[in-house]
Amino acid sequence: MKNWLKIIAVFLLFYVHTAGLLFDVPRLNILNETIRALYFHVPMWFGMVTLFSISVYYSIVYLRNPTAENDRKAVENANVGLVFGILGMLTGMLWANYAWGSFWHGDPKQNGAAIALLVYLAYFILRGSVENEEQKARLSAVYNIFAFAAMIPLIFIIPRLTSSLHPGSGGNPGFNMYDLDNRMRMVFYPAVIGWILIGIWIVSLRVKMRTLEDKIHDIEDEKIH
C-alpha cells in the first residue's frame, strides 16, 4: 500500500473521530445523539463488504492460478473483513440498545448479519481442519465463493423484503430520505473511505507477515532435511 494512501487513511479517521463526536447532528426523533453511531457502524460494514469482495476475487484467481500468494491474500482479506464485521455488529448492538431498547432486537438485518458472520467463521474452521496446504487452499477458495454468495442476500436482499427497523429496509426510509442536513454526509463519506483504506492497510501488513513466516518455515524445513 502506498505511503500517501496510509497518510490519507490516518487523516480521514482522525477527522471522522473528531467530527463524529464534536460536530452538531440533526435532532431526529428517537435517534437524537445516537445517530453519531452512523459514522462508525455503517462504515465498518462497508469495509467488511469491500474486504470480503477482494477476498473472493483472490479465491477465484487462486482456482485459476494456484499460488501461495493468492491464497494468502484471500485469507487475510477474509480475516480482517471478519473483524470489521464483528466490530460493525458490536457498534450496531450498542446503537440498537439506545434506539430500540435492547442490544438484540431480532431484526432481520441483525439476524442476517449474524448468520453471514457465522458462515465466514466456518471458513476459518474449514481451513484449520485440513492439514494439506494445497487441499486447504483449494477447498477454502471454493467455500469462500459460497460464503460471499450467501452474504449478499443475507445482508442486502432479505432485509429489504421483510419488515426491518433498519433504514432502507422493508419500506423503512433510508437516511438520505429524512436526513436533509448535509453535515452528516461531510463526515459519513470520509468515514467509509477511511475505514476501507485502514482495512486494506492492515491486510497488506498481515500478508507481508504471513509471507515472512512461510519463508522462515521453508528455511527451517531445508535445514532439517
Return the percentage of the chain with pLDDT > 70, whole number. Answer: 89
Q: What is the 3-state secondary structure (H, E, C) of 157-194?
A: HHHHHCCCCCCCCCCCCCHHHHCCCCCCHHHHHHHHHH
Q: Mean pLDDT across the chain, nearest whole number? A: 87
Which residue's C-alpha cell is 507477515? 209
Rounded Cα distance between 167 and 176, Å, is 9
Work out the average pLDDT over 188-204: 95
Residue 112: pLDDT over 80:
yes
Q: Which three cell numbers stand for residue 44?
A: 465498518
- The answer to whether residues 51 and 78 touch, using CB atoms and an 8 Å cutoff, is yes
Give the CA distances from residue 147 to residues 62, 142, 207, in Å, rounded to whole numbers and listed in that order. 16, 9, 21
Residue 225: pLDDT over 80:
no
**Banded model confidence at residue 97, pLDDT cuts 50, 70, 90:** confident
Q: Which of 56, 58, 120 lies closest to 88, judged by CA?
A: 120
Per domain, the residue ranges of the chain are: 3-224
Residue 28: pLDDT over 80:
no
* DSSP-based helix, strand, coil % in the chain, nearest 5: 80, 0, 20
224 against 24, higher pLDDT: 24
Is the domain 3-224 a CATH 1.10.3470 member? no
Window from 28-32, 151-155, 188-192, 205-209 with minimum mean pLDDT = 28-32
Window from 64-73, 92-101, 120-129 with minimum mean pLDDT = 92-101
